[in-house]
Structure 1
């Protein structure tokens, strides 16, 4: 059949994928439920292929981009004696100290999309660090399915501590000006919110469709927040009214945007949930926010 078009796919299919991608549906049940939408020439195999990430054709900033210095490094993990792997990127031949950005991945480890995002942040004039929370288990395994399974074996609060350790590493890096922010996606969006709760010195926090902190923790937030939500992401959006009420109650500095008619993961340009217009607008707002707060 002809190439599947995003507009021909029912929203229920994207909702099924969201349940599968967040471990609320196992692979067997996902395939079984997906079969109900394999009609009119569509097959389960073609739908599966359509929904899975395509990293090769979606890279915006390549690993060997001459405008950047980008390399894997290790830093001390939250637990004594251990180390974490991360991608450290910055503009090539920079002769000044730059604002720092911790880039936090989704629930599947440091995959090519998040590495690309980290390089985009560096290209915008920052020094970025993108840790791999799967390091203690051997690192991102090369596929998102295996990555999700691995990450489910780690305690999310322990992973949060490892990202906080990345903040400490970056803040004292010789190329950083001491102002460090965080941007996270999905699971990483929750991490970005929680780093704002946990780190009094955090300079800025940007969360893309991330879970919210408990209302009683909002009073601890010092950093200005930029929050991106997807209108069709009912799962994450359920927590937004209480979060917003607590932010207002405690007079916190925040900007929140709800992007119309887009799905959770709309910034991820390797999957069909990607929405180009919303992603580009949200990223522009993110970089503008970091330039205001970190430079």
Structure 2
């Protein structure tokens, strides 16, 4: 359903992005921000899924700044490598590339953003700092609490797992206390519960979170 295209960020950096186009009427557009595993088969399937729901979807390859064509799995070695790669890309650079993806979607549609894991934190910051968005969703972003003092400029929804070993409930409560206008949902699941390629995948939680996410985008991107 999708294909790789090339984007150019404001600082001249050129990066790849996976773009999926709906077969029928385009109801809106969504920027999909990767986990620490690159624009792998899971992230591409997420884009394809949103395209199936009528949204133009694009996932920028945020690791292209340090190494191109990164596509990792979910084994221990992949996790270690993904964490190392994430450490080489700062949030400022990630937001430059995210802004390029927003711009690539044009001005014909309202644009939303959704991110997973590291991408959840990037999506939250994009909602706070970037222009051109109409809605945002973040899944289990581990650094969102670090930026809790920053208020999103667009309606924002966050998903967290109650048994997430990477994100203590104290961090979630910090976000809730600092940003009462941000819609937060908790699930009886762990980190990465949305990804059906991970051992932590929770089918029920993923389905409920996706229904809420689609409802959020339906409300703020369509019409």
Answer yes or no: same fold by TM over 0.5: yes
Is 1:268 aligned to 2:219, yes or no? no
Equivalent positions of 1:13-162 (< 5 A) are: 68=1, 70-80=2-12, 82-92=13-23, 94=24, 96-144=25-73, 145=78, 146-162=81-97
Match 1:214 to one of 130, 139, 147? 147
Unaligned runs of 5+ in 1: 1-67
TM-score w.r.t. length of structure 2: 0.87
Alpha-carbon offset, residue 201 of structure 1: 4.0
Q: 1:202 to 1:143 in 2, by over 3 A?
A: closer
Verify: 1:182 aligned to 2:98, yes or no. no
Q: Structure 2 residue aligned with 1:284, among 183, 198, 211?
A: 211
Q: What is the TM-score when the length of structure 1 is the normalising length?
A: 0.67
State the SS of the aligned residue for 2:20: strand
The Cα RMSD (Å) is 1.8
- After superposition, where does 1:186-265 map in structure 2 within 5 Å? 186-210=117-141, 211-212=143-144, 213-218=146-151, 221-236=152-167, 237-248=169-180, 252=181, 254-260=182-188, 262-265=189-192
- Give the drift of 1:152: 2.8
Q: What SS class does the counterpart of residue 100 from structure 1 fall into?
A: strand
Secondary structure at the aligned position of 1:217 is classed as coil
Q: Which runs of 4+ in 1 moved over 4 A?
A: none
- Whole-Å separation in 1 of the counterparts to 2:133 and 2:71: 32
Shift of 1:77: 1.8
Bigger-Rg structure (1/2) = 1
**Unaligned segments of structure 2, at least 5 residues:** none
Where 2:39 maps in the other structure, the secondary structure is coil
CA contact (8 A) 1:204 1:290 kept: yes
- 191 and 138 in structure 1: CA distance in 2 versus 1, 3 angstrom threshold: same
Q: Aligned pair in 2 of structure 1 residues 229, 83: CA closer, same or farther (>3 Å)?
A: same
User: Aligned pair count?
Assistant: 213
